[in-house]
Structure 1
Amino acid sequence: MRWYDVVGSLIYFTHFCVPMGIAVALWARNRDRWVQYIRRLATVLFLGVATFVLFPAAPPWMVAKEGGMDPIARPTVRGWTHLGLDTVSRVIERGREVVNPVAAVPSLHVAFSLIVVLFFAKQMPNWLRPIVVVFPASMMLTLVYFGEHFVFDGILGVAYVLIAFRFWSHRERTKGFSV
C-alpha cells in the first residue's frame, strides 16, 4: 500500500459525487446555471455513450487480462480498504460487475472533472484557475495508474468537453438560447 493509492482512490471516487453534487446544488440555487451545466454534461454524456456503442474499447486492465499487454495491478479500491472503508470497496467492486467493461473510450471520469473546472472558471479569481486544473489532471493520472484508462481515453474526454462548451457557449451567446 502506497500513500498515492489512498489519494488515487479518493480522486477516483469524486467522479461519482462531485459532478452530481454540483448539479443538485445548482438546481437548488440557480436554475438558469443548472440548465447551462446540464446541457454541457448531457452533451458530453451523449457523445461518450455514442462512442461506447459505435467503438467499444477495452480498458488497460482488460487488455492485460486477455494477454494483450503485460499484467497490471488494478489498485482502484486499495485506498478505501487501507482507510478501513471496506463497504466503499465492496460497492465499487459490485458496480464493476454491472457496468459496461468496454466503455473505456472516452474517459467520462476525466471529462466530468474538466466540466466542473471549466464551468466555474470564469467566476474564479485568476490565481485559482491554474490550481483547479489539478483536479482533471490528477483524475487522468489516477485512471492511467489504476489501469482503468489509457491516456488517449482521457484526451478524447477532454476533446468532447471542449466541443460541448464551445457549442453551448456559442449557442447561448449568439442565438439567445436561454432557459
Structure 2
Amino acid sequence: MKKLSLNRFWAIEENQHFTRFTKQNIVLALSTSVIYFIWFSQVVPYRPEHSALYFLMLTLFYVSGVTRSFLKAMLPFIIFWILYDSLRIIPNYVVNPVHIKQPYEIEKYLFGVNDNGVRLTLNEYFSKYHTPFLDILSGLFYINWMPVPFLFGIYAFWKDKALIYSFTYCFLFVNLIGFVVYYTYPAAPPWYVAEYGFIEHFNIMGNVGNLKHFDALVGTPIFKGIYEKNANVFAAMPSLHSAYPVIVLYFAAKKRVGYFIVFFVIFCVGIWCSAVYSNHHYVIDVLAGMTCAVLGIVLFNLFVRKPMIKYILPL
C-alpha cells in the first residue's frame, strides 16, 4: 500500500499554502453543518450553546491554517462534549437499575468516620463541618476540571504537535470507557442521597451540592448555572472529574515539564479531595475515576500501535 495515510489530512494546513474556500472545504462545512443542526434540534433538544460551539468551529476552520490545525487537534474535546451532551437521549437509568443505597453503604463501610457515635460518610461529615476556606478552595479546584486539560492542550499544540493528538485522543478514549461504566452501573451521587434518600426520582436535573457554599461566598451562582443544565444525574461512578487530572499528569510527565509537574500533582489531589468535599462523589467514585484513567492510558498506548490507527490518526 502506498504510504498516503490520512495523516495528510491532519497536517496539510502546515505543509501547504492555506486554502480557505475550496469546493472540498465548502462541501465539508455545509454537510457538517446540516448534520450538526439536525442532531441538535431533532435528536438532542437545542440550546444556545450549540450555536456558540458551531460558530466557534466554523471560525477556526476558516480563519487561518493555524486555527484550522488547532481545530483538528482539539476535535476530540468537541466530540466528547457532543457525546456527553447526547447522553440525555437515552438516560442510563432506563438501561440498567440505578444504584443508590449500595454505593452509599460501601462508602460508609470503607471510608466512613465516627462523629459523636454516629458513622458518617466523608461527604456527610464535610457537609456538617464545612469552612469558608475549604468552600472557596474546593470550588477553585473543581471549576478547573476542564479548563486545565484544555489549557494543557493549547500548550501541547504549540510545543509538541505529536503530543497534542495523543493527549486529546487519549482523553476521548478514557471518556468512552467512563460512559460505558455510566450505563453499566448507574449510580447516584452523595448529594442525591442527602436530597432524596434512597427513593428513586428520575427526570430530575443536576444539583449544585456543597458547591452552593462557593456560589454564596463569591455572590454569583456559577456552579448552579452549570449543574442545573446537567441531565446526567446518575453518573457518579466513575468520577471522570477525577480521571482528567491523571491524564494531564501523565502527559505532562511525558513532556518533561520540569518543576511544573508539581502543579499537576497538586491539581490531581485538589480535584480528588474537592470531588468528595463538594458532595458530588464518594471516595469509591474517585478511585474508580483514577482507575478508569490508568486503564484508558494503558489501553490507548496499546491501541495506537496498530497500523490501521497510525494510518487514520496522526499518532
| TM bracket (short chain) | 0.7 to 0.9
Provide the C-alpha distance between the structure 2 equivalents of 1:46 and 1:60, rounded to a whole number of angstroms. 23
Shift of 1:175: 5.1
Superposed, 1:1-179 pairs within 5 Å as: 2-27=132-157, 30-68=160-198, 74-84=209-219, 86-95=220-229, 98-122=230-254, 123-125=256-258, 129=261, 132-172=264-304, 178=310, 179=314
The root-mean-square deviation of aligned C-alpha atoms, in Å, is: 2.5
Provide the C-alpha distance between the structure 2 equivalents of 1:144 and 1:5, rounded to a whole number of angstroms. 12
Identity %: 24
Q: TM-score, normalised by structure 2?
A: 0.49
Higher relative contact order (CA closer than 8 Å, sequence separation 6+)? 1
Shift of 1:170: 3.9
Unpaired runs of at least 5, structure 2: 1-130, 199-207
Provide the C-alpha distance between the structure 2 equivalents of 1:90 and 1:29, rounded to a whole number of angstroms. 36
Q: 1:30 to 1:77 in 2, by over 3 A?
A: farther
Partners of 2:245 and 2:271 within 8 A in 1: yes
Q: TM-score, normalised by structure 1?
A: 0.81
Shift of 1:62: 0.6
Partners of 2:242 and 2:272 within 8 A in 1: yes
Q: 1:87 to 1:25 in 2, by over 3 A?
A: farther
Partners of 1:23 and 1:37 within 8 A in 2: yes
Shift of 1:129: 4.1
Shift of 1:34: 1.7
Provide the C-alpha distance between the structure 2 equivalents of 1:53 and 1:169, rounded to a whole number of angstroms. 25
SS in 2 for 1:147: coil
Provide the C-alpha distance between the structure 2 equivalents of 1:157 and 1:130, rounded to a whole number of angstroms. 21
Q: How many equivalent pairs are there?
A: 170
SS in 1 for 2:186: coil
SS in 2 for 1:104: coil
Shift of 1:28: 5.3
Shift of 1:171: 4.6
Provide the C-alpha distance between the structure 1 equivalents of 2:266 and 2:142, rounded to a whole number of angstroms. 13
Q: 1:75 to 1:103 in 2, by over 3 A?
A: same
Corresponding letter in the other structure for 1:88: I
**Higher CA-based Rg:** 2
